[in-house]
Structure formats: structure tokens, C-alpha cells
Structure 1
Amino acid sequence: MQHVTDTVTVKAPAERFTGDVYLDPIETPAEPARLASALVRFTPGARTNWHSHLNGQTLYVTEGVGLVGTRDGKVVRVRAGQVVGCPAGEEHWHGATGTTLMAHVAMVVGADGTDGTTWLEPVTDEQYSAAGDGNG
């Protein structure tokens, strides 16, 4: 057993996120483990790019109100204490509403030493607005 006492908060890379997003790594996969997890904090209006996960993703919302959207236009509004499962291969995005912060623990099971995430293009302002971004 190892007690991890310090993690470093980093700003999420602009090529994968819109707005101000901060990451605190929890678990980085090291063979034979394949779990990757992080606490992700989104400021109002911030969001991920479209992306998918080889083995799916689980999001546990810890604070605020957020949105999770899929390519078919479905949007789920999430609040602290709720969990969203994104199936393997499903292109989706997630982030805060336009008026509230949102934080979640993101968990993925990777493969071959990676987290299995495929990053795609940014969610446009029009796509984000259609999701109901300002209804916090």
C-alpha cells in the first residue's frame, strides 16, 4: 500500500479543452493496472473536446452542475453525487454549464499502456449553446 500525499494541479491542455479546466491526477496506469483517473475542474462555460474511450468512461460528479453530450444531440445535466457512464467508442463531451462550476472524477480503463482516449475536434459554441449551457 502507498499513501499518496501530494498531487500537482495542472491546467488542462488547450488542444483538448475549451475554457479554463484544471486536472489533478489520481491514478496513472502502470502495468498490469489499466485504470486512469483524475479530478477535473471546469470553470463556467469550459468543456472537453469531442472524444471517445476504447473501454468507455465513468464520470462521478463531485461539485456543481455540468453537461454531458453525445453526437446524436442527447445531453444529460449532472449534479454533485451523480454518475454518468459513457459506453466504449461513444463520441461525447462534458463540461460545466455557462453559469456554474463543475468538478468530476473521470475514470477510464485503458489498454497497451495508454488511457485509450481518442481526442477529436472542439465542441463549437453553437453545439454548446444548443445543449442548454446557461441554465445552471
Structure 2
Amino acid sequence: MDITRKADMQTVEGPEEYFTGKATITGQFSREDPSNVTGAIVHFEPGARTAWHKHPRGQTLIVTEGVGWTALEDGEVHEFYEGDILWCPADRKHWHGATPHEAMTHIAIQETDETGTNVEWMEKVSDAEYLRGPKKD
């Protein structure tokens, strides 16, 4: 059994080329063969979000705090909440982050493919794309 203690986890700033606003990444991990699982805890301050990206084998997000938004390319923005679990389909361009007024934290879990890749980063989400927000009922 391998236990990584919270006190021993490193926290880093989300790289500016992949995030808009303040995001921090804690406890990044990857498992050795035969597993190909990777993950981290990502915290987004209000207004922070990822750039557009996709995962070759999809991604699971487990929301542990706050309220967030996510969208697939050419899709509507969806709001999600603490306790929700999201599935981002394999090879689908998407983004996720906090809402403009509330922070959000999620655990991100994804697998690497046969080349060792777990994410392909793309252009940043524009303010217009982000601020259109979820559809109102």
C-alpha cells in the first residue's frame, strides 16, 4: 500500500498557458504499469477555468467544493455542484472551471494512452465563450 499524506503533497499554480485566472493543482499522481491512471486535485478561484483541451481516454471529475461550469465544443454550458461527478468523453474538446462568483474544487482522473499522453491542450476559452454561462430555465 502506498499512502501520500496531505502534508507531503505539493501544490503548484496552474500554468498560465493552460488556465485563465487563478487555479492550483495539488497531489498530482500517476500510477505505474499495468495501471495508466493519473489525476490531481484542482482548485479554481472565481472566474478561473481551463483552456480548451481533450483527453484520449476521457476524464472523470469529482466535485468536492463549490459550483462550476463546463462545456463541450459546440455545446451549451452546464453548471455543476459539490458532490456531482462529471464524465468528459474521450477525444471531446471541452473546458471546465469555477463560475464568475464562486470557487470550485474537483478531483480530476484520467488515463494515459499507449503514447503516455493523458491530455492535449488547445487555445484558451475566450471571455465571451465563458461568460455566456449556462442556459437559464
Give TM-score scaled by structure 2 length. Answer: 0.91
User: Could you tell me which amino acid in structure 1 is paired with residue 94 of structure 2?
Assistant: H
Equivalent residue runs for 1:11-50 within 5 Å: 11-50=13-52
How far residue 29 of structure 1 moved from its aligned partner, in angstroms, is 3.4
Deviation string 1:85-135 (CA, Å, 9 cap, x unpaired) is 011011000000000000000000112363421100000000001124xx9
Give the equivalent residue in structure 1 for 2:80.
78
Deviates more, 1:71-80 or 1:101-110: 71-80
Give the equivalent residue in structure 2 for 1:4.
4
The runs of 5 or more residues in structure 2 that have no matched partner are: none
Equivalent residue runs for 1:1-136 within 5 Å: 1-5=1-5, 6-112=8-114, 114-132=116-134
Q: 2 CA distance for matches of 1:114 and 1:63?
A: 30
The runs of 5 or more residues in structure 1 that have no matched partner are: none
Deviation string 1:10-64 (CA, Å, 9 cap, x unpaired) is 1010000000000012421332321001000000000000000000000000000
Give TM-score scaled by structure 1 length. Answer: 0.92
The answer to whether the 8 Å contact 1:31/1:113 transfers is: no
The number of equivalent residue pairs is: 133
Q: What is the RMSD of the two structures over their aligned residues, measured on CA atoms? A: 1.5
Task: Extract structure 1 runs of 4+ deviating beyond 3 A.
Answer: none
How far residue 3 of structure 1 moved from its aligned partner, in angstroms, is 1.7
SS at match of 1:4: coil
SS at match of 2:128: helix
